[in-house]
Amino acid sequence: MIDSPIFINDDVSFVSLLDMNFTKVLKSEFVLNWTAHSCSSCKRSGGRCRSVIMMNSFAFAWTGLIRRPAMVVTYSAEGLDVRTKLIVGFCAGAGGVLITSLFFYCWLRHRRGKGFFKSSFITGKSYLDRSLASDYEKGDSFACVHVFTYKELEEATNNFDSNRELGDGGFGTVYYGKLRDSRTVAVKRLYENNYRRVEQFMNEVDILTRLHHPNLVSLYGCTSRHSRELLLVYEYVENGTVADHLHGEYAKPGALPWHIRLDIAIETASALKYLHASDIIHRDVKTNNILLDNYFHVKVGDFGLSRLFPTDVTHVSTAPQGTPGYVDPEYHQCYQLTSKSDVFSFGVVLTELISSKPAVDIMRHRHEINLWNMEINKIQNRALHELVDPSLEFETDEKVRKRITLVAEVAFQCLQNEKDMRPTMAQVFEALVGIQNEEYKKEKGEEIEMEAAGDEGGLLKSIAVPHSPDSVMIKWVSNGSSSTTTTTPSF
């Protein structure tokens, strides 16, 4: 029951209104005003109010209160023809469907993107981070990379058989697989509980599709980022990692002679030099991320943490970065990782190649749990022989001893606490090549003059390092440049 006034025209009397049936009342011009709660009351009364637009009928009950306003807004049941009503009804229905679809799309996009955007901007708004967010919204098209289906890779790995596991890292498990075209591959399955997995997935795809170097692992493809699982497909590098051969399952005394270790150091330095020239910081350089083929050639992998060089010097990242034992000590002071952070990590790798010891070992003395601390202590105490792997013939082969000593000096400079005291990867690469070739001079007339207190000389002459006992003085004279004096330890 609607308890509201009815406004009628002046020419309709109350008596004549009572004599009319509902059809005549509807054909007369009138307007009925009511409020929402009145309408709700009517509905609760059992449906005594109803409207059937297509039949030109409208039924209602009223209490008899009639008003005659000065200006009346009228309604005529005959004002709309059937065609107009159909158009209005169709437009209303289409509008409702459109609004519902738009709402559902926004909800779905928010639900899918919530985890990604929550993590991808934690480490700052560099160009690479912004591009990841943009790529995420574009769908499943990746430039120049094949997109595998989950079923293909499930089949290739025999349903991710645990017997096919190649490694288990910080971001995912790697499986051996064989594709339908007979290619052998390594399939990385990112951990479900890793809240940054979409960011790391996109990092690797973005970097490996635009960088090409003989000592960087090749990416064959990946699954869609909207797949039930995030999977990356790499070339299969069959001979394990450097860590495996130094202190892992493949480690055997004498199995990795010094000349191979020096080759590994040079090829790794070459890959990092290339990354830095491309404005990429790896940020997780370690022996577990340096793969070896059957000829012991290097393939650097795992770019989940990699970034472009930060353009904002004020940018900091407090999220955990890198691997314990390899992380730049300056990071814990300023929360910034730079190209010199990769240099520090590479210094740890060099020390592992010299010693065959892991980067972290809690069974060692408390001051030597971190291998880089042990390296510095041994060098400053003129006890390098205590660090070197005995199987390398450091004590018996003078040529090997000289080269190991020089590489230890390079590592010593890479491991300086202050990043400004460390060399660049380009300088490290040139120094290692010079050690291998025994050519301690550059092209076009550059000369190096050594005054050694022992049998060995220093290297990386353009980088100043702290004084140490019996240090070696090196004078580097270059065409068009002034002399630079550098001090490095002697052993």
H helix or E strand, kind and range, residue 344: helix 339-355
Report the 10 Å Cβ neighbour count for 189: 19
Which of 129, 206, 284, 342 is catalytic? The answer is 284
Q: Catalytic: 328? A: no
| Tokens found for residue 382 | 């003129």
The answer to whether the annotation marks 188 as part of a ligand binding site is yes
Report the 10 Å Cβ neighbour count for 482: 7
Place of tokens 């860590």: 243
Place of tokens 């990692």: 241
Contacts of 206 (CB under 8 A, 6+ apart): 128, 131, 132, 135
How many angstroms separate the first and last alpha carbons of the chain? 105
Place of tokens 């390398």: 392
Q: Is the dihedral of CA 132, 138, 143, 146 positive or negative?
A: positive
Closest CA to 202 of 276, 119, 285, 281: 119
DSSP string covering 83-143: HHHHHHHHHHHHHHHHHHHHHHHHHHHHHHHHHHHHHHTTT---HHHHHHHHHHHT-S--T
Closest CA to 286 of 237, 258, 246, 315: 246
Q: Rounded to an integer, what distance in angstroms lies between the CA atom of residue 16 and that of residue 134?
A: 72
Q: Say which amino acid occupies 319.
A: A
Query: How would you label 28-64 residue by residue, b for 16+ Cβ within 10 Å and e otherwise?
Result: bbbeeebeeeeeeebeeeeeebeeeeeebebebeeee
Q: Rounded to an integer, what distance in angstroms lies between the CA atom of residue 240 and that of residue 249?
A: 9
Burial-class residue 153 by CB neighbours within 10 Å (0-12, 13-18, 19+): buried
> What beta strand segments (E) does 138-198 contain?
146-148, 165-168, 172-178, 184-190
Q: Rounded to an integer, what distance in angstroms lies between the CA atom of residue 341 and that of residue 422?
A: 9
Burial-class residue 154 by CB neighbours within 10 Å (0-12, 13-18, 19+): middle
CA angle 301, 265, 233 (to 5 degrees): 15
Active site residues: 284
Binding-site positions for ATP read: 188
